[in-house]
Amino acid sequence: MNILQNFFILILNPIYTITKKIPEKIKETLITVCFIYLFLMQIFINSNFFIWDGISFTSQAFLGCIFLFFIIIMSINKKLELLNNFRVLPTLWMTFGVIIIIVSFIHPVGEGFRALALTVLIAFPCLYFVWGNRGDYNKLFELITKAIAFVGGMYFIFCILTVPFETAVTHAGRYAGTANNPNFLGMICSIVLCASLYLIINETKYIWLYYAVCGLSLMFSILSVSRTSILSILITTIFFIIFYFKVNIVNNKKKLILNMITIILIFISFSILGLSINKSISNLSTEYTTNKTNDSTKKLIKNKNVTKTNAFDRLKIEDKDLNTISSGRLTIWKYYLKHINLIGNKVIKTVYVKDLNLKVYGAHNTPLDIAYRTGVINGVVWLIIEIFTGLKALIFVFGKKYKEPYYLFMSMSIIIFCVYSMLEIAIFPFKSQPVLLFYLAISPLFFKKDI
């Protein structure tokens, strides 16, 4: 990676001679705006309301990298120097990207994967290198989380004003907002809650806004009835409580008690609100169903023969086998496991799973999907990356010496990603918000000493 570092220095130091004239406050504002764009772009891409729906992964990477490069040049605050990077994660990270490039020349691995490899090999390491020179990761994560909280808060308000809760009957009682899938709304909620919790312990100004955004994210997560989102929020909250007690139990007991009471009240209040709205949606679904009109749009219509359903029934496990509980994932995983080999399989767009008589885009499990496309070695490499970062997350939460707020942000971001990665294809950083959050959160693991 020293070759890359020298390349970054060659390109970026001359740029710094120009950008150093810009005041730091303006730079930080511009960085925040770029992060806002990146998270907004993902909402647009995964929405039925905007023309960006269906944009290719390669185009997403191209647009994302333009703004990431702008973030990088605005982040430089001194002349860049070589850093020691003889660490586990950079080696695994580079290996993962290189294997994708090599295999993609042997057979097709899917649209966007070459762009992903270049993003992994160049774009994000460049960001890691710049902030490794800076070292103030709390500032980086502050800018990221403020952008997420702003986007999340505005998005929730937009959904309330423009998408009635009654539209949930079009998704079997699950509210989706503007998203094309309730699971994506749940995905947004998990990262917005993560950002809000970080800002609650790291900020004093506008803290009531972060409490409100935190509550809204919990409410919308309940309305989405996304099992992955609810699970990741549950684990994230546990991590937050443990870390917050560890940091404040000795010197800030009054602050600890006050903030914990506030958070508990927020959680209870917005949970009750979400459950009550869900109950009203469930009652509505006994009277209304959906029908497609001539212009292929869905409309609510009266239906006297609708059986009462509750979206929360999908959380029950009684009288269900593992395949039903996993929404068919078990069958998909078995198919993919049978076809894993050394150099991967040809994938153009979708994979036909014979046992389900269904074409699927991926394995609904990131290491397994990577192994199927690019070979078992690369699948294992990515699995090791997830295990390594997951163990680091646990160490940061439970280790006594890790008390800086950015350790909490790293832990929450990593665990959210790992949960999604086990149940979805979570690999494209400019497509999925938990993936982008993960790519940003692991920055200190590349160059920071004693971590």
CB neighbours of 86 closer than 8 A, spacing ≥ 6? none
Residues 271 and 159 reside in one and the same domain: yes
290 phi, psi to nearest 5 deg: -115, 155
Task: Name the pLDDT band for 336 (thresholds 50, 70, 90).
Answer: confident
Of 146, 188, 145, whose CA–CA distance to 42 is shortest? Answer: 188
Report the domain count for the chain: 2
Mean pLDDT of the chain: 85
Interatomic CA distance for residues 12 and 6, integer angstroms = 10
Q: How confident is the model at residue 131 (pLDDT cuts 50, 70, 90)?
A: very high
pLDDT class of 198 with cuts at 50, 70, 90: very high
d(CA 336, CA 358): 13
Residues 168 and 280 in one domain: yes
Q: Residue 431 and residue 427: Cα distance in Å, rounded?
A: 8
pLDDT of residue 177: 84
- Residue 370 Cα to chain centre, angstroms: 18
Residue 371 sits in the same domain as residue 439: yes
Range of the domain at 368: 91-130+322-451
Whether 219 and 334 map to the same domain: the answer is no
Q: What is the pTM of this model?
A: 0.89
CA-CA distance, 293 to 232, in Å (whole number)? 37
DSSP for 300-337 reads EEE-TTPPP--GGGGG--TT--HHHHTTTHHHHHHHHH
61 is a domain residue: no
pLDDT tens digits for 12-33?
Answer: 999 999 999 999 999 999 999 9
Is residue 190 pLDDT above 90, yes or no?
A: yes
- Which of 316, 350, 380 finishes a domain? 316
**295 — pLDDT class (breaks 50, 70, 90):** very low
Mean pLDDT, residues 23-46: 92
Q: Evaluate if residue 303 carries a pLDDT over 50.
A: no
Confidence band, pLDDT 50/70/90 cuts, at residue 368: very high
Q: How many of the other CB atoms lie within 10 Å of CB of 421?
A: 25
Name the band, by pLDDT with cuts 50, 70 and 90, for residue 361: confident
Q: Which of 47-61, 307-321, 358-372 has the lowest mean pLDDT?
A: 307-321
Do 409 and 269 fall into the same domain?
no
The CA distance from 129 to 127, in Å, is: 5
Smallest CA-to-CA distance from 190 within 139, 231, 136 is with 231
d(CA 61, CA 114) in angstroms, rounded, equals 10
**With contact defined as beta carbons under 8 Å apart, do 372 and 340 qualify?**
yes
Does one domain contain both 185 and 282?
yes
